[in-house]
Amino acid sequence: MERFKLRLVMEERRRSDVYPAEVLAGIDRIADLVRPFLTAQELADQPEALRDVDVLLTGWGAPVIDAALLERAPRLRAVLHAAGSVKHVVTDAAWERGVVVVSAASANAEPVAAMTAAQIHLAARGVPGSRRVYRAERSLAASRVASGARDSTVGLVALGEIGRRVAQRLRGTGVRMLAADPFATAEAAEALDVELVSLEELFERSQVVSLHAPLLPSTTGMIGEALLERMPQGATLINTARGGLIDEPALIEVLTRRADLTALLDVTVTEPPASDSPLWTLDNVELTPHVAGSMGADRAAMGQLVCEELERLIDGRPLRHEITQEALARMA
């Protein structure tokens, strides 16, 4: 049987993390992976590079799969993307051609869920607030602000891939879990020990609110002043999803007035926020530089997922991480 011919096109900076030697060895075993590997710019400068390629492997810095690229890749049948969303990679031209699209977003979901669950545990115990009081008072009496996590209420905004994983990690820890998700079924929520409620009720009852919704026109800025004002005394808002879910001016205004609230933001509308943004200076805001997703050696899990999907594609077996045009429309 003729072996598939592959090209790897992504940014050079993270290439060795995503496709380390052991992953490349697995790919070489089952297909012909052409060297040298290319960046999107190098591919643009070599219009014949995809002429006889069957499968395109990508990652961060992937080329856009548009009509112009497809015209130069007449044999291309699949794009296997070792990163998160393919929303800005795949165009209608790819769907019209019938190109198979795979995303390694599920492998990226695990480190996000791990970091989020850790932040939720800390927030449920009152650690962020006690840290601020400790800095101000420099006395162990600041421990009065902390508490146990058991019986606290955690609200998850959306039960997609990451939201479900977070819920699974929180099961059995003694916290009560709420979720607001119009697409979640009662059966799925029950299996996770989660109570489905409205978004308003979730903000009203939760000591910790964690965002996991996709960024769509309907969700942009949906976390505004009215919801934030519903949060209980001492509550914490965690965002490891998309910065655009939050109305940032409203968040800043509420946090300025309510020093009891805390926001743990791994993502913001603009990354990084403007140098004069109050997000840098508010005592009750903690910023991290978009580190919840796969970092360093963790990224190899995405390359390994792509390798396993490639083997299924070659064998004609069903793919486990294929993205359809319909599913993509519902994703971030």
Residues annotated as catalytic (active site), given as ranges: 242, 271, 290
How far is 142 from 144, CA to CA, in rounded Å?
5
Identify whether the C-beta of residue 106 lies closer than 8 Å to the C-beta of residue 126.
no
The 10 Å Cβ neighbour count of residue 53 is 21
Identify whether the C-beta of residue 84 lies closer than 8 Å to the C-beta of residue 293.
yes
Identify whether the C-beta of residue 167 lies closer than 8 Å to the C-beta of residue 161.
no
Q: Measured on CA atoms in the order 123, 129, 130, 131, is the torsion positive or negative?
A: positive
Could you give the count of Cα atoms lying within 13 Å of 77 in the half-sphere of its Cβ? 10
Task: Give which of 220, 264, 266, 270 is closest to 245, Cα–Cα.
Answer: 220
The 10 Å Cβ neighbour count of residue 173 is 15
**What DSSP string runs through 175-223?**
-EEEEE-TT--HHHHHHTTEEE--HHHHHHH-SEEEE-----TTTTT-B
Task: Give which of 278, 279, 302, 314 is closest to 110, Cα–Cα.
Answer: 302
Task: Give which of 97, 115, 22 is closest to 301, Cα–Cα.
Answer: 22
Task: Give which of 233, 173, 241 is closest to 204, Cα–Cα.
Answer: 233
Degrees (nearest 5) of the Cα angle 30, 94, 331? 95
Angle of helix 127-137 versus helix 105-124 axis, rounded to 10: 50
